[in-house]
Chains A and B, each alone.
Chain A
Amino acid sequence: MSLTAKDKDVVKALWAKISKSADAIGAEALSRMLSVYPQTKTYFSHWPDLSPGSASVKAHGKRVMGGVALGVSKIDDLTNGLLDLSEQHAFQLRVDPANFKILSHCILVVIATMFAKEFTPEAHVALDKFLVALSLALAEKYR
């Protein structure tokens, strides 16, 4: 299920429309992930405050969307483009890759709530594929 040329164009076009809200999307997606999938909180036991809108959640949401932005810029070669991030997740953070799907779903939900008109079925399928490809690239160095 690799990204077609059309998928890449659709993702870049959608990203152009939503990227200025990237920080807000990230914070909201992360908040939702923590409350809808409470098992994900296990990765953040070192945070003083896991509530929505907390400084930790906002900062981390921004960081996550920075990764998504990097993915968009490296969309023609996600595996190599995300090598450093993959190593970080594999050897330092050691996040179970199943959680990438969970966070991807939350990102899609937030984009749907904030950009309903732009989030057409075509945009949805392209972005879903992109996030799957991004997740795979992130898991590249795991084993």
Chain B
Amino acid sequence: MRTSAPRLCAGTTPSRHTHSRFKVVRVENPSRSDPLSPSSSRCLIVYPWTQRYFGAFGNLYNAEAIMSNPNIAAHGITVLHGLDRAVKNMDNIKATYAELSVLHSEKLHVDPDNFKLLSDCLTIVIAAKLGKDFTPETQATFQKFLAVVVSALGRQYH
């Protein structure tokens, strides 16, 4: 089933230090039949301890089960929706994510180190998808963007 998934928008990321503007690459959310699998499924396979947050999601017994789990696929879309909001509000990710940060801390009780694990997985999934188009410059900019996202998500923890 091909999901009507959001795309990470092309946009610009302000550098934290030089205020120069770069392009963030537009990518498609892979469908469940895509052999490259969404990044949150990948994260659950590569870092299996992250499964602790998905006890109610059904069968996560092995990689095949995880990759065909509809709840996990739906959750991958939720995560990409969140990233999309960051891209659309790139000048103010901190404020945009304030509520999300409180949610992850107070309600979901997610260890913020997981945000870094997911962002590493996302980078690698996109690298696989884009191949040589995922240039070093694109990787650098994208990782900078993700670092801001990760920091904003962890900001309201106390």
Interface residues of A (CB under 8 A from B): 31-32, 35-36, 52, 105, 108-110, 112-114, 116-117, 119-122, 124-125, 128
In the complex, what residues of B have CB within 8 A of residue A117's CB?
A: 35
Q: Which secondary structure dominates chain B's binding surface?
A: helix
Contacts A113-B131, A113-B134, A116-B36 known; A124 to B124 CB distance under 8 Å?
Answer: yes
A109 to B129, Cβ gap below 8 A? no
Whole-angstrom distance between the alpha carbons of A75 and B158 in the complex? 42
Closest CB pairs A-B (n = 5) = A116-B128, A112-B128, A112-B127, A121-B45, A36-B140
Interface pair A36/B143, CB less than 8 Å apart: yes
Type the 1/0 row for B59-70, where 1 means its CB is closer than 8 Å to any CB of A.
000010001000
Mask: chain B, 26-46; 1 = CB below 8 Å from A; 0 = not: 000000000111000110011
What per-residue 1/0 map shows which CB atoms of B71-95 lie under 8 Å from chain A?
Answer: 0000000000000000000000000
Contact with A along B6-28 (1 / 0, CB 8 A): 00000000000000000000000
Q: B139 at the A/B interface (Cβ < 8 Å)? A: yes
Instruction: Give the number of residue pairs across the A-B interface with Cβ within 8 Å.
Output: 54
Would you call A35 and B35 a contact (CB within 8 A)?
no
Determine if A32 and B139 form an interchain contact, defined as CB atoms under 8 angstroms apart.
yes
CB distance from A67 to the nearest CB of B (A): 21
Query: Is B129 within 8 A of A116, CB to CB?
Result: yes
B137 at the interface (CB under 8 A from A): yes
Contact B136 A31 (CB under 8 A): yes
A113 touching B127, Cβ below 8 Å: yes
Residues of B within 8 A of A120 (CB): 35
User: Chain B residue with minimal CB distance to A121?
Assistant: B45
B120 at the interface (CB under 8 A from A): yes
Bound CA span A125–B48, Å: 9
Q: Which residues of B contact A105 (CB under 8 A)?
A: 120, 123
